[in-house]
Chains A and B, each alone.
Chain A
Amino acid sequence: MSGTLPGPLAEIVNDFIEVPENERLELLLEFSEELPALPERFTQHPELLEQVVECQTPLFLALELADTEAREVSLFFSAPPEAPTTRGFASVLAQGLDGLPAAEVLRVPDDMPNQLGLTRALTPLRMRGMTSMLGRIKRQIRERLPEAAA
């Protein structure tokens, strides 16, 4: 399955499954600490962010598409520091998908979060939170690029 993932995301998935199961949470914590702060254009305009209500703690995301032929995707996330799991997921998606052509993001399998090898450590509810983040990213792309969804 990981063969269908875009390069950066495939690398992250490999990083996760190559470390022993009990160290994967540490890796997720490292990702949570690497989540970039929101740029000012979003902190000033929170209405531009969409809440992913499926997450257990407040998580907001925004997406921009480049004005190019490939319509490269830029991702922005906001989640509080007391929600490190949610932040970790957001950071995995940010680092794995940011800057990729929209069509490549749409090809990411919907169940990609399950490939991280965390399904035993985390509750199904958490995993659904990450799946929902990915789902909303793809939906936003489809809404803005009807031709890509066809």
Chain B
Amino acid sequence: MSLPTEANTQFAEYAHPERLVSTAWLAENLGAEGLVVVESNEDILLYNTGHIPGAVKIDWHTDLNDEYTRDYVDGAAFAALMAAKGISRESTVVIYGDKSNWWAAYAMWVFTLFGHEDVRLLNGGRDKWIAEGRELTRDKVSPAPAQYPVIERDDTVIRAFLPEVLAHLGQPMIDVRSTEEYTGERTHMANYPEEGTLRGGHIPGAASVPWSRSAAEDGTFRSRAELEALYLDEAGLKAGDDIVTYCRIGERSSHTWFVLAHLLGLEKVRNYDGSWTEWGNAVRVPIVKGIEPGVAPVGRGA
């Protein structure tokens, strides 16, 4: 059973307003039948320090990733996870998290790989909820187990793998990392020095639009007009484009995937979750250093 879309004048500007809820809407709808709130953070202990009443925790590392295959869980494991969290196929799932919803967007993207229909982000995430002085609790949440069907993951629509990105060279691509990572000045993001790669730089032809430019100071998304100025006017994307986003491990680029696909309504946006961690280390894969997007070496594209 799906909850109605929030009536919100700012959200109404977006292509898919049904994909967002405000903190006020969530506060009013907590406990509604058919709603499951999910917290997904980078710091996996953060949920335990206090969470939105009734929210369940999903850990991207241990819940969504398969331990042995460097891939997401399969349909059976996803169904088991959903059942344990009290999520049915018809549930309205609202996801929020720390760091401007990076991991929340990442979780949403994985839900989308399994075709979960009604999954929404909490605009502004955990920080905004706290900044507004809204309730947090440490109460243990024990959801009634739900039934969830085993769905085969569909990686063809919103996910890109390395060979597909190689074939995509010369077409629109957005690198959402920091400028220093894009130019190759550093091989990791600020404060994450150990997660470096052998080479620094970017995928040939990728435009640099750091993810943070799509978010306001309070972590909420910028207006449709601001997002259009950024991605359409500045980065040159246009309706009908086939677009690939990437970052370092795929979480920040999930945030941009959300912006492009759901807020701007671009039809074909794929997240390359292998991202720079894979590309920067792969053999016989071209890179570009410096601030210019660059072009693919001859014979390396599609």
Interface residue ranges, A against B (CB under 8 Å): 25-26, 28-29, 32, 53-58, 81-86, 88, 120-123, 125, 128-129, 132
Tell me whether A125 and B43 are in contact in the complex, defined as CB-CB below 8 angstroms, given that A82-B98, A84-B49 are known contacts.
no
Contacts of B67 in A (CB 8 A): 120
Among all A-B residue pairs, the 4 with the closest Cβ atoms = A84-B45, A128-B194, A85-B45, A29-B48
- Contact for B48 among A26, A55, A82, CB less than 8 A: A26
A137→B191 CA distance, assembly (Å): 19
Check: B154 CB closer than 8 A to any chain A CB.
no
Contacts of A57 in B (CB 8 A): 43, 191
- Contact for A58 among B43, B45, B191, B194, CB less than 8 A: B191
State which size class the interface on B falls in. Answer: 10 to 19
Contacts of A129 in B (CB 8 A): 194
A53→B43 CA distance, assembly (Å): 16
A86→B62 CA distance, assembly (Å): 18
Total of A-B residue pairs, C-beta within 8 Å = 50
Tell me whether A29 and B45 are in contact in the complex, defined as CB-CB below 8 angstroms, given that A82-B98, A121-B62 are known contacts.
yes
Check: B226 CB closer than 8 A to any chain A CB.
no
Contacts of B4 in A (CB 8 A): none
Contacts of B241 in A (CB 8 A): none
Q: Which residue of B lies closest to A128 (CB)?
A: B194
Interface SS of B by simple majority: loop
Shortest beta-carbon distance from B213 to chain A in Å: 22
Check: B61 CB closer than 8 A to any chain A CB.
yes
Q: For window 36-55 of chain B, which residues contact chain A by CB distance below 8 Å?
A: 42-46, 48-49
A88→B45 CA distance, assembly (Å): 9
Shortest beta-carbon distance from B64 to chain A in Å: 13
Check: B218 CB closer than 8 A to any chain A CB.
no
Contacts of A128 in B (CB 8 A): 194
Given contacts A84-B43, A84-B48, 10 further A-B contacts (CB under 8 A): A32-B45, A53-B191, A53-B193, A81-B49, A83-B43, A85-B45, A122-B44, A123-B61, A128-B194, A129-B194
Tell me if A85 and B44 are in contact (CB < 8 A).
yes
Shortest beta-carbon distance from B58 to chain A in Å: 14
Shortest beta-carbon distance from B190 to chain A in Å: 9
A70→B67 CA distance, assembly (Å): 45
Encoded as 1 (CB less than 8 Å from any A CB) or 0, chain B from 40 to 83 comes to 00111110110000000000011000010000000000000000
Contacts of B194 in A (CB 8 A): 54, 125, 128-129, 132
For this complex, 21 residue pairs linking A to B, each with C-beta atoms less than 8 Å apart, are A29-B45, A29-B49, A54-B193, A55-B191, A56-B192, A57-B43, A57-B191, A58-B191, A82-B43, A82-B98, A83-B43, A84-B48, A86-B43, A120-B67, A121-B44, A121-B62, A122-B44, A122-B61, A125-B194, A125-B195, A129-B194
Contacts of A132 in B (CB 8 A): 194
Tell me if A125 and B44 are in contact (CB < 8 A).
no
Contacts of B192 in A (CB 8 A): 56, 125
Shortest beta-carbon distance from A108 to chain B in Å: 20
A32→B194 CA distance, assembly (Å): 23
Contacts of A83 in B (CB 8 A): 43
Q: For window 4-34 of chain B, which residues contact chain A by CB distance below 8 Å?
A: none
Q: Which residue of B lies closest to A28 (CB)?
A: B45
Most buried by B among A121, A123, A129: A123
Tell me if B42 and A56 are in contact (CB < 8 A).
yes
